[in-house]
Amino acid sequence: MLSRVEKYKKTQSLKKVMIIVVALLLSITLGSGVKTALADVDVQQLMAKWFSKKQDESIKEIDQAINTERKALMGQLKGQLNAEMQLAEKQLAEFTATQKQTRITALQEYANNIKAGMTIDSSEQQAAVMKNIDIILENAKAQLDGQAAQLKLVPVPMPATTPVPSQIVLPETTPADEVQSTPAPKTEVIPETEKAPENEVKASSVQEEPVAAPPIEVDIYSVTDWFVMPNTSNLQIEEVAITDDVFSINTSFSDILMDSKARGILNSILPGLEKHPQFHQIQYKTIDEMSRVAPGQFTEAVLYLLNKSLSAVKK
């Protein structure tokens, strides 16, 4: 029988052998695994390169196909777009013409309705015209009455004539003593025909006083020649400051004429106004009021000249 020591040594030897066998097996196994792993790595790289190449080719082919199709579609779209634009332009022109005619027709109908219902009430204007005509008629009648009054013959009163007493013949009494000594006085009788010229002289000396004709009233709105128009072609109108203590267009003509300086300015700007035959009808009016009576002469430029010049004169 083997001793315990021998058994122990034998056991250790078997362990070493088993370890070596296992190591050999492991080395063989690991060696073959490494080769397999290396082979797998090469295949993967090859596949990756191939796939990458195919991927690039596919992408390039797809991109070319897309570009080709895109160009073709763009051409088709451009042609279709042109056709649609032409169609839309035609439709828009037809729509514009239709709408224009429709709006014009509607506007014409609206204007015709306005014309049909248009009425102008001129009663106020007619009344104003009739009032002015009545005033003109009354003025004309007054003028005719004045002329008729001048044509009437006023009887001239004859002076009272003193009757010539008839010759009184006294009876002659002749005393006996004075019959032959004292002759009777003779009374001279003046015939009436000789006194007639004296009466005629007295009658001719009495004359009728002339009857003053009433002033002829003229419608001042119809007068267009109040004065000689000043030259205002190059006049530049500006604002004039007017105070209450100076003359202006708000002053009446009568007040202006009372001041020698203001009167001179008025006659220099409006020559002939003061001597106008109808000036007595407007002498108490203001210049501003006359601008409404005769706007054709009392223009804005004339009023500016008067205001600018008269405002330099204190009242």
Is 157 part of a structural domain of the chain?
A: no
Confirm whether 30 is domain-assigned. Answer: yes
How many CA atoms, within 13 angstroms, populate the side-chain half-sphere of residue 125?
Answer: 3
In a domain, 172, yes or no: no
Looking at 65, 87, 109, the residue that finishes a domain is: 87
DSSP run (H or E) holding 2: none
Res 308: pLDDT:
94
d(CA 245, CA 255): 13
Q: How far is Cα 214 from Cα 200, in angstroms, rounded to an integer?
A: 33
Assess if residue 121 is contained within a domain. no
Taking the CB of residue 308, how many other CB atoms lie within 10 A of it?
Answer: 17
pTM of the entire predicted model: 0.34
The per-residue pLDDT for 16 is: 79
Q: For residue 199, what are the contacts with CB-CB under 8 A and spacing of at least 6?
A: 159, 161
Contact 305, 297 (CB under 8 A): no
- Is residue 289 in a domain? yes
Domain end call among 54, 69, 87:
87
The Cα 137–Cα 215 span in angstroms is 16
Q: Is residue 206 part of a domain?
A: no
* 138, two tokens: 């009354």
Could you tell me if residue 93 is inside a domain?
A: no
Domain membership of residue 80 as a residue range: 8-87
Among 35, 57, 87, the domain-final residue is 87
For residue 145, give the H/E element and its range. helix 123-151
Burial 27-37 (b: 16+ CB within 10 A, else e): eeeeeeeeeee
> How many domains are there within the chain?
2
- 208: helix, strand or coil: coil
What pLDDT is attached to residue 152?
45
pLDDT along the chain (315 residues), means of 10: 68 80 77 62 82 86 91 90 91 93 91 81 80 80 60 47 48 46 48 48 48 68 92 89 94 95 95 94 95 94 95 94
Q: Does residue 80 belong to any structural domain of this protein?
A: yes
